[in-house]
Chain A
Amino acid sequence: MFVNLDEAIKLIQEDKLLHIAADESLLKQLPKGKWIAGTTPYFITEQGGITCKDKLFVDEISCAVDYKIMVYDRSNIFDITKDAYPNGLTILIMPYASDVAVYYAKEAPNADDLFMNPTIGWISGYELGTDSYPKVYDGINGESYDDKAVAMHICLPDDKVASVGIVNIFNTDENDTKIEFTEDALTVSKCLVDGKEVNLSDYIAENKIDTHLPLVADYNCVLVNVSIKSISEENKAIDLFAPVFAGKEYRFARSVSNYETSFKERLKELANVKPIFSCNCILNYLYGELEGKATPPFAGPVTFGEVAYQLLNQTLVYVEIISK
């Protein structure tokens, strides 16, 4: 729900368990309580996408039978798998470009037991074009962090289970050029294009590839995007929003003519989903011009990265609670 500050404070004072996304100017006014939060001024509400600094997006986690809120840094982030409840769900928020987020991005797919516990979440951000910093909040003590991750571990009733899903509007054609990398990396220069070593930056320029399109890998029929952050003309290096991995085959996504229509097509089959949390990527919001456009049944923060077990890009992530 998209609420004003007074309404958010009331929910906290009613002792509700909450996940919150909002601008820092609002989050720092919240009283202590059972909540975690991350910064963003961008949202996709039930009424459509909006940039807003005077309202908060709040998810009430009413399904929890118990909870714990924990703060992690790079040295212990993968303790989240040990700290999770045996039948539960973990909501994880990490500040954009923080050490812990970069480390999680690169190492999560190799972490033991990562897939044994549903973990979803997002990378907190800030208003683009300003010099703000992304932050996360631990509502228990009201502390904010720009270098740590905050997690809410949620214990579910025995007859319920969390089911994580993603919506990726991008597609590839398996006949398209195959791109591979020789090491796991967040910054790349060389790659193998159909087995031949080339500089990826040169390849993009020579083939006039739209860098708004992500590289896409097939994870057993789940398409996982890696978005391009920037290209350095000087050293021909490409910074990515999520790492690429050796041993995976990537292809550039086919272009999307209309993001809103593409989402609507993909969301038709998910009309009956009742998400307790969802988020969508800032790149979809910007490139897809989603301001004023809704993506029902999903509403939530617009984020600088999405977590569905591992870090994803240009993807809508959601979780619902279903009966066993």
Chain B
Amino acid sequence: MELDLKFEKIITKQVKYETTNLGLNMLIARLQRKYAANQSPEELNTCRQEMKAFFEKYASILAKDIETLKKL
């Protein structure tokens, strides 16, 4: 998916991404903490899948976030 690399950058804190969506902000914080505790490729993949699932489920209300992330 086009956004996979962006998700990785957010999870690994290479980039900072803020949103007005409370659930997404808290999810990002959770995944960053989870990855920081185990910086393996497997954990990164798990975290990326979790973020991807969130975006797929809430695509209709995250349209602005998706557009912004594409440009990140």
Contact = CB atoms under 8 A, between A and B. Distances in A.
Interface of A: 109-110, 114-116, 118, 161, 163-166, 218-222, 245, 247-248, 308-310, 322, 324
B56 to A, nearest CB: 10
B50 to A, nearest CB: 8
Given A116-B53, A163-B61, A322-B61, A247 B25 contact: no
Contacts of B3: none
A110 B24 CA distance: 15
A160 to B, nearest CB: 10
B18 to A, nearest CB: 4
Does more than half of chain B's interface fall in helix, strand or loop, or is it mixed?
Answer: helix
Chain B, interface size category, equals 20 to 34
Interface in B11-69: 17-18, 21-30, 32-34, 36-37, 53-54, 57-58, 60-61
A84 to B, nearest CB: 12
B61 A115 contact: no
A164 to B, nearest CB: 5
B33 A115 contact: no
A221 B29 CA distance: 9
Contacts of A324: 60-61
Contacts, number: 55
A322 B18 CA distance: 21
A115 B18 contact: no
A220 B57 contact: no
Contact of B25 (A110, A114, A220, A248): A220
A221 B25 contact: yes
Q: Which of A109, A166, A310, A322 has the most CB of B within 10 A?
A: A109
Contacts of B30: 109-110, 114-115
Given A161-B60, A222-B25, 15 more contacts: A114-B30, A115-B26, A116-B57, A161-B61, A165-B22, A219-B25, A219-B29, A220-B17, A220-B18, A220-B29, A220-B32, A221-B18, A247-B37, A308-B22, A309-B22
A150 B35 CA distance: 32
Interface of B: 17-18, 21-30, 32-34, 36-37, 53-54, 57-58, 60-61
A94 to B, nearest CB: 19
B34 to A, nearest CB: 8
A245 B54 CA distance: 23
Contacts of A309: 22-23, 26
Contacts of B37: 247
Contacts of B21: 163
B26 A220 contact: yes
A190 B32 CA distance: 24
B21 to A, nearest CB: 8
Contact of B26 (A161, A163, A222, A322): A222
A248 B33 contact: yes
A108 to B, nearest CB: 10
A118 B25 contact: no
19 contacts: A109-B33, A116-B53, A161-B58, A161-B60, A161-B61, A163-B21, A164-B22, A164-B23, A166-B22, A218-B29, A219-B25, A219-B26, A220-B25, A220-B32, A221-B25, A222-B22, A222-B25, A247-B33, A309-B22
